[in-house]
């Protein structure tokens, strides 16, 4: 099992209070995650503050660009993978994104994983790109993923879509990795199909075991329909972690955290129809023994990578305490994790 930790690039106001992490804190988390044996860190992506965050906090949150943040983290680490968790693909032109990913992969000696998603907040997309308000983001997402593959892998890249077009783009250097891994993020049928047809991994969130198992069945069917081997596609859910010596303490820590309030907000979008109590049972809560049992259950339904785990805490130090406890008491129980660049 591979374990990752969420890097707090754009999480203030949502998963954490405002203010939260500084630039130095972000680097500190990456360095410590590597020392503790985590496989990757995953930084998320936002351009503008969401309406509910503006209504909740007096000051705006700092949102650090994940790719530029990783350029600095790459120089401070050596084997830690640098994963976008997620990059909001419809808000980034594929030529610019491909150039950034390829350059980062070179500078990090082949440590980049691109977690790619539509984004939880349509309001953010429409604020930044009002002229595209009528465009379906799922259409932009598919075209962008197809375009990224052409740009990252072909010498003369040409793409003709309904929304994205470019001709004879010769973009070098290519990534150091022969095929830079892209994980499709989301629980929708479209996200699963994109993972099966175009990507190296599926990155769901907020799914219980039965939901992951059902998604895996879809993934396998869609992959076989296009002639792909489903076993080559990672299943890598992103979950919330709240660990304590007593299960009741873990529950109490969670309920007073900003993460809890964030989940409530997402019930109208990414987590539509999901009860927060049910969400807790689908994530990693409790004692180290409880969490080890939960990880074993995830392995049994085909999960091989727990990416960008979101550790509860209302300060960076509280979050790091959770990261350390998990690294000390959970990760060593799963020694088949890969800790060096393949």
Residues of the chain by 3-state class (helix, strand, coil), percent to 5: 45, 20, 35
pLDDT bracket for residue 113 (50, 70, 90): very high
**End-to-end CA distance of the chain, in Å?**
15
pLDDT digits (tens, 9 = 90+) for 125-175: 999 999 999 999 999 999 999 999 999 999 999 999 999 999 999 999 999
With 60 as the cut, is the pLDDT of residue 342 above it?
no
CA distance 40 to 339: 9
pLDDT digits (tens, 9 = 90+) for 48-87: 999 989 998 999 999 999 999 999 999 999 999 999 999 9
With 80 as the cut, is the pLDDT of residue 273 above it?
no
Burial call 265-291: b when 16+ CB within 10 Å, e when fewer? bbeeebbeebeeeebbebbbbbbbebb
> What mean pLDDT value characterizes the chain?
94
H/E segment holding residue 193: helix 189-198
pTM of full prediction above 0.75: yes
CA distance 33 to 80: 8
CA distance 182 to 205: 16
Domains and CATH numbers, the chain: 2-239+302-307 (3.20.20.30)
């Amino acid at each position: 099992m591979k374990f990752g930790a969420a890097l707090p690039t754009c999480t203030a106001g949502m998963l954490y209070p405002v203010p939260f992490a500084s630039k130095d804190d972000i680097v500190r988390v990456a360095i410590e995650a590597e020392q503790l044996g985590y496989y990757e860190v995953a930084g998320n992506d936002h351009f503008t503050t969401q309406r509910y965050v503006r209504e909740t906090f007096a000051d705006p949150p700092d949102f650090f660009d994940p790719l530029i943040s990783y350029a600095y983290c790459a120089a401070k680490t050596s084997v830690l993978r640098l994963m976008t968790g997620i990059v909001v693909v419809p808000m980034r032109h594929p030529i610019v994104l491909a150039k950034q990913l390829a350059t980062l992969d070179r500078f990090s000696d082949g440590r980049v994983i691109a977690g790619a998603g539509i984004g939880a907040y349509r309001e953010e997309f429409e604020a930044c790109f009002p002229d595209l308000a009528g465009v379906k983001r799922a259409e932009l997402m598919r075209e962008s993923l197809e375009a990224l593959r052409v740009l990252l892998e072909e010498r003369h890249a040409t793409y003709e879509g309904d929304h994205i077009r470019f001709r004879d783009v010769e973009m070098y250097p290519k990534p150091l990795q022969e095929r830079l891994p892209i994980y499709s993020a989301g629980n929708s049928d479209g996200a699963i199909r994109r993972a099966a047809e175009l990507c190296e991994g599926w990155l769901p969130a907020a799914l219980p075991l039965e939901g992951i198992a059902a998604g895996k069945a879809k993934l396998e069917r869609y992959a076989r329909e296009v002639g792909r081997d489903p076993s080559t596609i990672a299943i890598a859910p992103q979950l919330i972690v709240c660990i304590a010596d007593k299960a009741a303490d873990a529950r109490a820590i969670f309920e007073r955290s900003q993460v809890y309030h964030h989940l409530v907000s997402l019930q109208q979008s990414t987590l539509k129809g999901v009860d927060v109590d049910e969400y807790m049972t689908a994530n990693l809560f409790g004692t180290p023994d409880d969490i080890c049992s939960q990880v074993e259950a995830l392995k049994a339904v085909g999960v091989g990578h727990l990416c960008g785990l979101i550790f509860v805490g209302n300060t960076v130090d509280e979050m790091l305490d959770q990261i350390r406890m998990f690294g000390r008491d959970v990760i060593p129980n799963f020694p088949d994790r890969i800790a060096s660049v393949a």
